[in-house]
Amino acid sequence: MLFGGAAAAASLHTGVADARIRPEDMVPLIGPGFRPTEKDEMGLWKEMDRAEEEISGSNLVIQDPKLEGYLKNIIGTVGGPAAHDFRIYLVRIPDFNAMMFPSGFAVVFSGLLLRMRNEAQLAGVIAHESGHFLRRHMIRSWRDMRRKTDLLAIGSMLAGIGGAGAGVYLGDYVQLAQLGTILSLLQYSRGMEAEADAMGARLMERNDYPPIEMANIWEQLIGEETASARYRGKRRRRGSLFDTHPSEGSRMVDLRADAQELTVAGKAYDSRRQRYLSTIAEIRPTLLDDQVKLNDPGASQYLIETLAQDGWNGLLRFCEGEVWRLRNRPGDALRADQSYAAAIAYPDAPADAWRWHGIALMKQGRAAEAKAAFARYLTMKPDATDAAWVRQMMG
Amino acid sequence: MRKLGLAAALAGSVALSACVQTKQYADMQFTPPQGDYKLLVLRPDVTVGSLTTGGMVEPRADWTDQARSSIVDALRAQQAARGGKVTIIEHRNEIPGVTAQELADVERLNAAVDESIVVHKYLGDYLPTKRGKGLEWTLGQDAVRLGQKTGYDYALFLHGEDQVASGGRIALGILGLAGCIVGFCAPNIGGQQQLDYASLVDLKTGRVVWFNVVIAGSQVPGIKFGDLRTPQGATQMIDRLLGRMKPGTGVTKGVVVTDDPAAKH
């Protein structure tokens, strides 16, 4: 009976059954220069001020004025009424994620910069985070949690006393109520994520970014996760009742519908691709290196191939080689050698591509060509830590 | 976030008891600072929240400010009575010659070291190689550099957190008490939980020479063992935390410890 009850409670809370939130309903709930006036929100902000102090001083923050200015510019554009109140920090964590904190500062992970194909997609993520702040999600979520835990505590106490008076044990129902509370809190969280998606799409459209790009983000992520899971012999993880966010598939579908609703026929939208590519060009080798070292060959290969849709270059071929080499399944060494050979044909091949190409040539017994490759490596990187070893390899 | 986990673990370790608990550890050769010493107290890390009916902690900015100023005043009064020169800083950029980032690094390092001390001294994960050796932890050269740059002899790091049971929580406790009539006695749903800890660092050597934890909590909401917001509560907390500093076991037993195991005294 308990199991049936749980299933009944659970069926009330599936994310799929919820209606799509319409972007035009998403109006900002705060204005410029907003400061909290209610006690609980003020307390939350104060805690967050301390958190911001620690995060902004962390050694994970990427201190690059060009990137900082770029992100600040984007959030200053899509941030709605609070555009000039936001702070934004870029941290060197190679995962796809971004978060907004209750006091108005956002943290963006470097993995996001690798996965976004253009400025519109990046602006979409930042607009989503801004939406959390503009719709006051954190304090609403906190108050929701407070309300529900209060009800659960009072209800449990009354059930205990009432049950004792009547001579009935109600503990199982209390546990069911506990599960129901948790599921309800998670559903509220999913609802707010959907609100943020809708608000983000609206903010994007307002600033002439094509809103369909937000849906494309999820399509790309689904592709990446499928590739990653396939390599590991697993299926991509589908959404569950215990998720704080709606499933990726449902987000993509809802955002496509949002984009259709919002897009004005005949208006000129610009995804600002070139500006985005030129801004992140310098940091891209670092981002790719971090991604390769995550040891997720399925995802890394998918990302490299996606980036290669703009055209292969030395860096991408080299990273492809690294993915094979570190994967090290039968036949991967040969694949890696082929990638390194392809990489050095491009002018932008990194120094390490020449090094690994030289090692591949040595394995094949082509000593003279190997020597030339090593020499090229040493000219590009004279103070490499393994220079002595390479010189010894050259003979 | 780390401090949250630390606090929760410490509070959980004494969940069954209802009163005031404190236990201090010190370096073998530690003697409480006396006479003419210079003490630097970094921003006391204080938070006071309200315990909601459902058991969540609602952070309260006004109570936190109240508590922080009460604690700072109590600390000044207590140190004035002991002699020595005390400087309590409010922001990280208040010390001339030391950047805010350098100070932040020392504070974070201290937080990590304190976490290690709590795990290995208070939570039962005792290290066999550290038995009978007092407190063998150090902040290293960063603390020594700080001491050299600023001229202080000791640095004190303080953390205090408190919860005040809200009206709803107290009412729930009373309801639970009323349930005793029908045989469902549940007044002990958990009330105020105060957790304070302090670490004293010798800036000449960089070692953590003294560490103390005070846990004051009640299982029945409404019963308090000290309120950090009031001057009396803050004075009481400072007295419990810092007022009974004992010398290290080596000093009281007359044992001299050197690094050379072969030497005998």
Q: Is residue A6 part of a domain?
A: yes
Closest CA to A204 of A109, A130, A117: A130
Mean pLDDT of A39-47: 89
C-alpha radius of gyration, chain A, whole number? 26
Cα–Cα dist B200/A41, whole Å = 34
Q: Which residue is closest to A160 within chain B, CA to CA? A: B184
| CA B111 centroid distance within chain | 11
Percent of chain A scoring above 70 in pLDDT: 95
Interface contact flag, A153 B54, Cβ < 8 Å? yes
HSE, side-chain direction, 13 A CA sphere, residue A62: 25
Q: How far is A359 from chain B (nearest CA, A)?
A: 43
B4 touches chain A (CB under 8 A): no
Residues of A in contact with B183 (CB under 8 A): 164
Closest CA to A305 of A326, A291, A286: A291
In chain A, positions 142-181, which contact chain B (CB-CB < 8 Å)?
A: 145-146, 148-154, 157-158, 160-161, 163-165
Q: Do A70 and A10 have their domain in common? A: yes
In chain B, positions 21-50, which contact chain A (CB-CB < 8 Å)?
A: 47, 49
More confidently predicted of B178 and A105: A105
For B110-136, the pLDDT digits (tens) are 988 998 998 888 888 888 988 888 888
Q: Which residue is closest to B102 within chain A, CA to CA? A: A57
Which of B42, B46, B47, B52 has the most A C-beta neighbours within 10 Å, making it the best mutation to test the interface with A?
B52
Q: Do A252 and A317 have their domain in common? A: no
Q: Which of B47, B54, B182 sits opposite A146 (nearest CB)?
A: B54
More confidently predicted of A3 and B238: B238
| CA B15 centroid distance within chain | 18
Cα–Cα dist B190/B205, whole Å = 42
Q: Do A206 and A140 have their domain in common? A: yes
Q: Strand B85-88 and strand B193-202: pairing?
A: unpaired
Identify whether the C-beta of residue A241 lies closer than 8 Å to the C-beta of residue A151. no
Identify whether the C-beta of residue A35 lies closer than 8 Å to the C-beta of residue A254. no
Interface contact flag, A157 B60, Cβ < 8 Å? no
Which residues neighbour A319 within 8 Å (Cβ) at sequence distance 6 or greater?
A: A288, A289, A291, A292, A300, A304
Domain termination residue (choose one: A197, A231, A262): A262
Cα–Cα dist A221/A96, whole Å = 9
Which residues neighbour B135 within 8 Å (Cβ) at sequence distance 6 or greater?
A: B25, B26, B27, B30, B117, B121, B208, B209, B210, B211, B248
CATH number at residue A354: 1.25.40.10
Model pLDDT, residue B1: 46
Opening angle at CA A50, ends A47 and A55, nearest 5: 125
Write down the ipTM of this complex: 0.74
Q: Is residue A277 part of a domain?
A: no
Model pLDDT, residue B260: 53
Interface contact flag, B189 A153, Cβ < 8 Å? yes
Residues of B in contact with A45 (CB under 8 A): 61
Name the domain count of chain A.
2
Cα–Cα dist A80/A97, whole Å = 21
More confidently predicted of A94 and A169: A94
| CA A202 centroid distance within chain | 20
Interface contact flag, B55 A47, Cβ < 8 Å? no
Q: Which residue is closest to A165 within chain B, CA to CA? A: B182
Interface contact flag, B175 A161, Cβ < 8 Å? yes
Q: Do A197 and A244 have their domain in common? A: yes
More confidently predicted of B20 and A91: A91
Q: Tokens 């909590």 — which residue?
A: B217
For B142-175, the pLDDT digits (tens) are 999 999 999 999 999 998 888 888 888 888 888 8
Identify whether the C-beta of residue B53 lies closer than 8 Å to the C-beta of residue B166. yes
Cα–Cα dist A170/A152, whole Å = 14
What mean pLDDT, rounded, does chain B reach? 84
SS3 B194: strand
Q: Do A239 and A295 have their domain in common? A: no
The count of residues in chain B is 265
Q: Count chain A–chain B contacts defined by CB atoms under 8 A.
A: 77
Model pLDDT, residue A161: 87
Interface contact flag, B59 A157, Cβ < 8 Å? no
Domain termination residue (choose one: A262, A292, A322): A262
| pLDDT beyond 50 at A340 | yes
More confidently predicted of B121 and A321: A321
Percent of chain A scoring above 90 in pLDDT: 67
| CA A141 centroid distance within chain | 21
Q: Do A355 and A211 have their domain in common? A: no
Distance from first CA to last CA of chain B, Å, rounded? 46
The count of residues in chain A is 395
Which residues neighbour B60 within 8 Å (Cβ) at sequence distance 6 or greater?
A: A39, A40, A42, A43, B48, B49, B50
Interface contact flag, B182 A44, Cβ < 8 Å? no
B58 touches chain A (CB under 8 A): yes
Structure tokens at A373: 């490759």
Q: Which of A57, A151, A161 sits opposite B101 (nearest CB)?
A: A57
Dihedrals phi, psi of A354, to nearest 5 degrees: -65, -40
Q: Is residue A168 part of a domain?
A: yes
Cα–Cα dist A242/A84, whole Å = 35
Interface contact flag, B172 A154, Cβ < 8 Å? yes
- Between A21-25, A63-67, B108-112, B257-261, the lowest mean confidence (pLDDT) is in B257-261
Dihedrals phi, psi of B196, to nearest 5 degrees: -130, 140
Mean pLDDT of A262-286: 92
Q: Do A251 and A348 have their domain in common? A: no
Residues of B in contact with A43 (CB under 8 A): 49, 58-61, 64
Q: Do A350 and A224 have their domain in common? A: no
Q: Which of A149, A158, A164 sits opposite B54 (nearest CB)?
A: A149
Q: Do A36 and A74 have their domain in common? A: yes
Q: Is residue A103 part of a domain?
A: yes
More confidently predicted of A55 and B3: A55
Q: Do A243 and A289 have their domain in common? A: no
Partnered with residue B87 across adjacent β-strands are B40
Identify whether the C-beta of residue B198 lies closer than 8 Å to the C-beta of residue B242. yes
For B2-50, the pLDDT digits (tens) are 555 666 666 555 444 457 888 888 888 888 888 888 999 988 888 899 9
Model pLDDT, residue B27: 85
Interface contact flag, A46 B59, Cβ < 8 Å? yes
Model pLDDT, residue B13: 53
- Between A102-106, A157-161, A235-239, the lowest mean confidence (pLDDT) is in A235-239
Interface contact flag, A160 B179, Cβ < 8 Å? yes
Percent of chain B scoring above 70 in pLDDT: 89
C-alpha radius of gyration, chain B, whole number? 20
Side chain identity at residue A89, one-letter code: Y
Partnered with residue A61 across adjacent β-strands are A91
For A166-199, the pLDDT digits (tens) are 888 888 888 888 888 888 888 888 889 999 999 9
HSE, side-chain direction, 13 A CA sphere, residue B38: 8
Q: Is residue A357 part of a domain?
A: yes
Mean pLDDT of B78-87: 84
Cα–Cα dist A161/A369, whole Å = 86
Domain termination residue (choose one: A227, A262, A297): A262
pLDDT grade, residue A29 (50/70/90)? very high
Partnered with residue B45 across adjacent β-strands are B159
Identify whether the C-beta of residue A90 lies closer than 8 Å to the C-beta of residue A110. yes
Residues of A in contact with B55 (CB under 8 A): 149, 153
| CA A239 centroid distance within chain | 16
Count CB neighbours of A86 within 10 A: 21
Model pLDDT, residue B8: 64
Q: Is residue A267 part of a domain?
A: no
Cα–Cα dist B161/B165, whole Å = 13
Residues of A in contact with B189 (CB under 8 A): 153, 157
Cα–Cα dist B145/B206, whole Å = 9
Stated pTM of the model: 0.82
Which residues neighbour A305 within 8 Å (Cβ) at sequence distance 6 or greater?
A: none
Interface contact flag, A154 B64, Cβ < 8 Å? no
Model pLDDT, residue A4: 46
Dihedrals phi, psi of A284, to nearest 5 degrees: -60, -40
Model pLDDT, residue A1: 43
Cα–Cα dist A86/A308, whole Å = 34
Structure tokens at A147: 């309300």
Q: Which of B60, B108, B182 sits opposite A164 (nearest CB)?
A: B182
Model pLDDT, residue A357: 95
| pLDDT beyond 50 at A274 | yes
Q: Do A301 and A251 have their domain in common? A: no
Partnered with residue B257 across adjacent β-strands are none
B91 touches chain A (CB under 8 A): no
Structure tokens at A318: 């080299």
* Dihedral angle over CA of B9, A243, A97, A217, nearest 10: 180
| pLDDT beyond 60 at A355 | yes
Model pLDDT, residue A220: 93
For residue A354, give its domain range.
283-394
* Dihedral angle over CA of A285, A291, A292, A297, nearest 10: -140
Q: Do A246 and A297 have their domain in common? A: no
Max distance between CA atoms of chain A, in angstroms, equals: 93
Q: Which residue blocks in chain A are alpha helix, DSSP H?
A: 2-11, 39-56, 65-78, 110-115, 119-134, 137-166, 171-206, 212-231, 248-262, 273-280, 284-292, 297-307, 314-327, 332-343, 351-363, 367-380, 387-394
